[in-house]
């Protein structure tokens, strides 16, 4: 913010993301969307569901049960959304979705996040490592995908030091750190 912006009346209140936004943005940043079917149509994001109750296999909210087989990911996503006060979209989020320690713990430890930052399967981290890109290119793509900006010179330097120790775990840790940053979780 600069005082020079005052004449433009530029104002935007920062807010914590809602449950569906948090889950969906993690899947977008990691390039690992869900593979669900609802009413026979493919669904990749929570926002595409008619109701979060679809994650529990209920037809709540006029939705219809989600067909994801025996996927334990459904219950993990539902728990993740509960941490963001958004288990039932028919009701507004409690306390206007104030950030909480439970949300932080879910972002740090939930398999919804941790499986998507691992260098396995079709994750962004795995594809970047397989592509044989330079450390600079990897870091830049992670920043662009997660924060929609390029890293600063200082951030790039720190990231390169982390990658130099162990490339695989370093890239995983950078993706995890970006997803757990305030810049990622707060809509500015």
Task: List residues bridging with 67 in a β-sheet.
Answer: 37
Render pLDDT for 14-73 as a digit per residue (tens, 0 to 9): 777 888 888 889 999 999 988 777 777 777 777 777 665 566 655 444 444 455 455 677
State CA 30 to chain mean position distance.
7
Q: CA 61 to CA 50: how far, in whole Å?
A: 7
Percent of the chain topping pLDDT 70: 78
- 138: nearest Cα among 111, 84, 175, 110: 175
Mark residue 95 as left, alpha or beta (left: phi above 0; alpha: psi -120 to 50; beta: remaining): left
The helix-helix angle for 135-147 and 153-165 (nearest 10°) equals 120
CB atoms within 10 A of CB 161: 11
The residues spanned by each domain of the chain are 17-109, 118-188
According to the model, what pLDDT value does residue 179 have?
95
């Amino acid at each position: 913010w600069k005082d020079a912006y005052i004449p433009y009346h530029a104002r935007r209140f920062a807010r914590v993301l809602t449950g569906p936004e948090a889950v969906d943005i993690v899947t977008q940043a990691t390039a690992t969307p869900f593979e669900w079917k609802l009413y026979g149509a493919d669904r990749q994001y929570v926002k595409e569901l008619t109701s979060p109750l679809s994650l529990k296999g209920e037809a709540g909210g006029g939705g219809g049960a989600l067909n994801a087989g025996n996927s334990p990911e459904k219950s993990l996503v539902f728990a993740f959304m509960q941490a963001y006060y958004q288990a039932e979209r028919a009701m507004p989020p409690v306390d206007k979705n104030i950030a909480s320690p439970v949300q932080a713990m879910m972002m740090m430890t939930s398999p919804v996040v941790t499986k998507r930052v691992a260098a396995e399967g079709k994750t962004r981290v795995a594809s970047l490592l397989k592509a044989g890109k330079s450390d600079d290119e990897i870091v830049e793509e992670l920043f662009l995908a997660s924060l929609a900006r390029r890293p600063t010179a200082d951030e790039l330097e720190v990231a390169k030091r982390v990658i130099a120790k162990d490339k695989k775990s370093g890239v995983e840790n950078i993706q995890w750190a970006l997803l757990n940053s305030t810049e990622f979780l707060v809509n500015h």
